[in-house]
Amino acid sequence: MQKFVGVFGLLFVCFGAGYSIVHYNTSVTSIDRDPAAVRSNFDFSNLSGERLQEAVKQRLVTGFEVKKTPDASGFTLGHFVFVDQYGQKKLACQEFSKISLVFEAEGVSVSGEKPSMELEGTCEYSKDMAKINPLWLPVAKILGEKPADGEFQFNEGSGVVVRFANLPDHWPTTWLLKTVKMKTLNNPDLVIQSNEVAKYLGHPVVLTF
């Protein structure tokens, strides 16, 4: 299989389905603590090729959690460490600037298309570096608006943006997580599809408003 060029250098190989991770041209930043202190269950600096690719996707998904408040739902992912093309350890959120979660509505369609919702925010890791901080979806604010396609920005921290498409005249209540994306500014995303989410978690992720 063709080897990736960039962020993971020769560590990753391409999936036939076209998933890829390439280097975003930023300054190289080393982890600012002793690597020995990094938890071994998300330090993949000893892995390469398909083993690394599998471990990264599994780590992101198995670390998935939903936190709920009366007004919002927060989504977090597992974080990880890898060795970049310069041989230095690097945190995922030092490479990937944005996270995107794409949902599709269940039981609803508009002109044959399912409504979609994309939640996008900044990739920020927790103090212990084991988790990516939650992206908060302001459910109460959304339900207080008239359904409409387009992009909405909410003051929820982490530069959260919510995008809707193919909405009916009422808010769908059940949403299925279709893709998880780790984004760079100039290069293809790291994409985890819904079947992979179900594979690693043992079940699909369903959000109910």
What's the chain's Rg over C-alpha atoms?
Answer: 18
Contact 103, 178 (CB under 8 A): yes
CA dihedral in degrees (9, 12, 14, 15; nearest 10)? Answer: -160
- In whole angstroms, what is the distance from residue 129 CA to residue 79 CA? 7
Token match 């490479």: residue?
A: 95
Q: Which pTM was predicted?
A: 0.80
Query: Any idea which residue has 């193919």 for tokens?
Result: 166
Tell me if 166 sits within 8 A of 114, measured CB to CB: yes
Domain ranges of the chain: 66-79+93-208
Q: How many CB atoms lie within 10 A of CB 52?
A: 20
Q: Which two tokens stand for residue 101?
A: 């979660």
**Start-to-end Cα distance in the chain:** 42
Which tokens hold the place of 149?
């396609």
Instruction: Dump pLDDT digits (tens) for 96-142.
Output: 899 999 999 999 999 999 999 999 999 999 888 899 999 999 999 99
pLDDT digits (tens, 9 = 90+) for 38-80: 566 788 988 877 888 899 999 999 999 999 999 999 999 999 9
